[in-house]
Homo-oligomer: A and B are copies of this chain.
Amino acid sequence: MTVIAPPQGLTIAEASERTGLTTHTLRYYERDGLMLRGVGRTSSGHRVYTERDLTWVRMLTRLRATGMPIREVKAYAALCRQGDGNETERLALLQNHRARVLAQLAEVTEHLGAIDNKIGIYQSTLERTES
């Protein structure tokens, strides 16, 4: 049907393409209350994504990609939805997350070091055996 993208709006398929999320996931995020506000609709009920929506989805993606659980993303979305006045809470939430991510990065890096040692051992074993 080649839905004509309404002025300044994108279809869910286009939004999917630009965000790298599936249409299923985009609908799921909206259903689950992760969007700032419900995505707009055409007269026939099709979703219309604006650039603001995509910007928000990209933020979501960053939070998710750094391991923030959906319920917490939802909490952050709720704060943003409320409007001005709760910046302190938003900041605290993000700083909390940041601290957890840093701890996680440190832990993974440490474990990776040990795995690297193991890799080194196999490499020297193979060198001694080779030819």
Pick the contact of A91: B66, B101, B108, B126 (CB < 8 A): B126
Q: Is the CB of B91 within 8 A of A119?
A: yes
- Residue ranges of A at the interface with B (Cβ–Cβ < 8 Å): 59, 61-63, 65-67, 87-88, 90-91, 94-95, 97-98, 101-102, 104-105, 107-109, 111-112, 114-116, 118-119, 122-123, 125-126, 129
Most chain B beta carbons < 10 A, residue from A63, A102, A111? A111
**Copies of the polypeptide in the assembly:** 2
A104 and chain B: residue at smallest CB distance = B108
19 contacts between A and B (CB under 8 A): A62-B111, A62-B114, A62-B115, A63-B115, A65-B108, A66-B108, A66-B112, A67-B108, A87-B126, A94-B118, A94-B119, A94-B122, A95-B119, A97-B115, A98-B115, A98-B119, A101-B108, A101-B115, A105-B109
